[in-house]
Amino acid sequence: MGSRVVTAAEVEEYLRRETGREPNTLRPELAERLLELYLQEEVLLAAGRNPVPASLSPEQRSALARQRLEELCPVPPPDPTLTAADPADAQEAGTTSGERILLRQLVLPDAAAARSARERLFRNEDFAEVSRAVSRAPNAATGGMLGWVERGQLPPEFEAAVAALPRGGISAPVASDAGWHIFQVMDRRTGLADEEQRQRSRRAMAARAAEAAKRACLDRLAATLKIRVDCRAATFPCRNPFEEKS
């Protein structure tokens, strides 16, 4: 990756730290996603103007990568055409009489960062401020709002984490292929008004657009570094996540 060589041993240690398991026991899709996140972080560190001190801890490296992500891949302003979107265009039309939960989330790179962020929330730090400081969610800069989510729409592990939370409740960290999630339940209701449906559709489309823009930026940065991934020594499912576009 440019002038830096990332060894299989470094990646293995990262996978152990993230999952608490041996790399060769991980589900292939999880190992590949974590490798992708690791290499994205390395791309951001390598693409900065100043070299990264070797003495930085994993947490400090992640914090520096988040800072460079904001500098090198700023979130574009929302597309004004999305504000007039019809929910039917997003295949999200209709109403429901089931329970709905108003959620916001943090997405953290590892378990340690998730625990630290949750502790900050329990110290009554403002959720939006914590989101802007440490979250990797596409809309982290605007507070991590997910909007109204119907019961049953979330993945089972997310559903279990928020099902019993009261208003204002904060979930335990939950792992996914994208990182570690912390949810806060802001409200609960039944039924879904048309305007709320439209707002949810707009937020979902804006989040997808922001994530696509971030990925395109990372691909461009990766292309300048001439990344080569040699998986022969890997004890985990391994591929170059930038191979198709770099």
Measured between alpha carbons, how far is 147 from 186 in angstroms, rounded to an integer? Answer: 9
Confidence of residue 54 (pLDDT cuts 50, 70, 90): confident
Query: What is residue 148's three-state secondary structure?
Result: strand
pLDDT at 30 over 60: yes
pLDDT at 55 over 70: yes
pLDDT for 90-118, tens place per residue?
444 344 446 788 999 999 999 999 999 99
- pLDDT at 191 (0 to 100): 59
**Shared domain check, 105 and 76:** no
Q: Whole domain around residue 150: which residue ranges?
A: 96-192
**pTM for the structure as a whole:** 0.55
Q: Which of 86-90, 114-118, 156-160, 238-242 has the lowest mean pLDDT?
A: 86-90
- pLDDT at 162 (0 to 100): 92
- pLDDT at 153 (0 to 100): 84
pLDDT at 50 over 90: no
**Shared domain check, 240 and 185:** no
**Terminal-to-terminal C-alpha distance of the chain:** 12
**Shared domain check, 185 and 102:** yes
- Residues 12, 235 contacting (CB under 8 angstroms): yes
**Shared domain check, 101 and 82:** no
Alpha helices of the chain — where are they, by DSSP H?
Answer: 8-19, 28-47, 58-72, 111-122, 127-134, 156-162, 194-225
Q: Which of 132, 110, 143, 148 is nearest to 19 (CA)?
A: 110
**Tokens at residue 115, please?**
């625990």
**Shared domain check, 143 and 72:** no
1 domain-assigned: yes
Query: What is residue 183's three-state secondary structure?
Result: strand
